[in-house]
Structure 1
Amino acid sequence: MTAKNSADNAWWLPVELATDSCWSFNIGPLSIYVKRQAQQWQLAYERASTIGERELLSSSAALCMPPQLKAERYMFRQSPAALCLKPVLMDRPVVVKTLQPVHVPPAEQTTLYISSPVSVRVSLQQPEYLLQEIAIARLSDTWFGPSTQVGELCYADKTHARYNKNELPLRPHRAITPVVVQNTSKQMLSLSKISIPVPYLAVYSSADGNLWTDPITLQHEGANSLARFKTGTLSAADASGATLISPARAVPEKHSLIRAFTNIFAE
């Protein structure tokens, strides 16, 4: 059944399966299939090449595993009955390229809403066993930094960089990051790529079923200086009824993110 309201959109809520029953989840381009038996769980998944080949979001009882997929087996003396999927952000920063050029005049600021795909942690409950973590989308690798010696390995993605929150589509497989860009320099700021440090951001759900992250503020002072940044806490103004789902993967060490934001405004 395709999700139609905020409760249906909450694909991270636990599901309890009877013995010898199956369940499937379609989350954007990712399809996950599970089967519970008396002493084992089976898990398989596949990704569609485009979201159009899958329902955006659905979950339902299934007759069996798709025969073309190779399932993995997890063995127990007595299998737990409950399964839970949990969205988490990627394990490396995501460098997003804006689909249209973005320019911020001197002494101006703007808020961009930038989304990135999440990963899914598949866990059994009572007690909790993490079975697998599955990325919803395959992102290509990219190097982000001023040189091949200075920088870090990231994932690459594209974004519309929307500025109107009311225009955000419902995409339960991506998490939205509010990015405040402040241009305190004397030159026009031209923005084409942004490195979002997603491992350091928490994931929230909103009342409409979208996923959100902590916000980021970037302050650009000049062409030859680093961009100052800070992370914040998601507010009700950003996402109504926001509820914490997953904490950040990591706590940054001092100065650890400066490298990620060096050359952030490079063409």
Structure 2
Amino acid sequence: MSTYHEQPLHPLIKWWGEFDFELHQAYSWRFGSLYFRVIRKEKEWRIEYHRPQNQHETQQDWQKLDPDELFPAPINFERYMFNQTHHTFYLMPRMADRSVVIKPVQPIYIPTGQRSTLFISTPLWLSGFVQSQREALFDVPIIRPKDTWFGQDKMQGQLCYATLVDGSTDLNLLTPRPFRAVTPIHFYNDTNQQMRLERINVPVHSLPLFYSEETNRLWTSEIKVFQDSIDRPSRIRIESRTPPMAGQVSFVQPARTDSGGFITNMFETLF
């Protein structure tokens, strides 16, 4: 069994990866306010975790803990049964399992004929994978977002997550955070009126996830929003290539759902 060495609060983004478990070995972490432990038994994987009632999205530090660290109460337990467990375990980040609605503190306007890019970040999920299993054993938010409704009225719309706005037109002003992924959204306003961005429904479950060691960030594919007429909905496209500003990236996770490259309207109102 490997010897544990206490580690300080980690300044780096990358907290995930492949872990090697001997029988009855445990790994423990603190991801923000979420305490999490994975234990390998001969015929089962066990997880133990504590999530406080109130979590703060600004708490973005993480730490590897002593395997036997005492967690705060209450502690949740889950068991996953196998004929025989394998020593390899993958702890991975994923995008949220439904759309995330962001709302800028102040409305954003894009004048007629202008092109603009908004960099936003959205919260990540924590997933566990083992050899020979394509589906995750568990899939939980690191920091659980609040629920919100997005739509024209209470009958037509969809249940989404709401998150604190962390967006900027300047990537350098967006702080790298371990539990959030950056999505560039490009706007093309070819109408004769300026666009007004108030609530944006970002379909993160349709976005693949990448990691850039060069920028020390997690990234998704780019989204492009084309507005040609005030009488028609926007044309919204998910780019297949990775964002050029991310530099060299490595693939982390596929999109949860296949949008075919095109998605439905992201806005309640635009003009």
Mind listing any 5+ residue stretches in structure 1 that lack a counterpart? none
**Alpha-carbon distance, 1:119 to partner:** 1.1
| Cross-structure match for 1:243 | 250
| Cross-structure match for 2:24 | 20
In 1, Cα distance between equivalents of 2:45 and 2:261:
42
CA contact (8 A) 2:185 2:223 kept: yes
| Cross-structure match for 2:63 | 58
| Cross-structure match for 2:186 | 180
Equivalences for residues 1-267 of structure 1 within 5 A = 1=7, 2-5=9-12, 9-48=13-52, 49-51=54-56, 56-64=61-69, 66=71, 68=73, 69-125=75-131, 130-207=136-213, 208-235=215-242, 237-252=244-259, 257-258=263-264, 260-263=265-268, 265=270
Amino acid aligned to 2:48? A
Deviations 1:37-71 (A, max 9, x none): 33332202233534599661222442256373132
Deviations 1:142-198 (A, max 9, x none): 222223333222222231321111222121111111001122222222211111111
Amino acid aligned to 2:35? S
Change (3 A) 1:50 1:115: same
CA contact (8 A) 2:100 2:203 kept: yes
Q: CA RMSD in A?
A: 2.7
Change (3 A) 1:177 1:29: farther
Change (3 A) 1:165 1:157: same
**Alpha-carbon distance, 1:262 to partner:** 4.9
In 2, Cα distance between equivalents of 1:169 and 1:53:
11
- State the TM-score, normalized to the length of structure 1: 0.85
In 2, Cα distance between equivalents of 1:261 and 1:54:
28
Amino acid aligned to 1:114? I
Amino acid aligned to 1:182? Y
**Alpha-carbon distance, 1:90 to partner:** 1.4
Change (3 A) 1:180 1:242: same
Change (3 A) 1:137 1:102: same
Change (3 A) 1:61 1:17: farther
Change (3 A) 1:150 1:239: same
In 1, Cα distance between equivalents of 2:57 and 2:185:
28
Q: What is the percentage of aligned positions where both structures have the same residue? A: 27
CA contact (8 A) 1:96 1:194 kept: yes
In 1, Cα distance between equivalents of 2:63 and 2:161:
27
Change (3 A) 1:187 1:44: same
Mind listing any 5+ residue stretches in structure 2 that lack a counterpart? 1-6
CA contact (8 A) 1:213 1:234 kept: no
Secondary structure, in 3 states, of the residue corresponding to 1:14?
A: strand
**Alpha-carbon distance, 1:239 to partner:** 0.6
Question: Comparing 152-161 with 104-113, which one deviates more in the overlay?
Answer: 152-161
CA contact (8 A) 1:194 1:265 kept: no
- State the TM-score, normalized to the length of structure 2: 0.84
Alignment coverage as a number of residue pairs: 261
CA contact (8 A) 1:227 1:264 kept: no
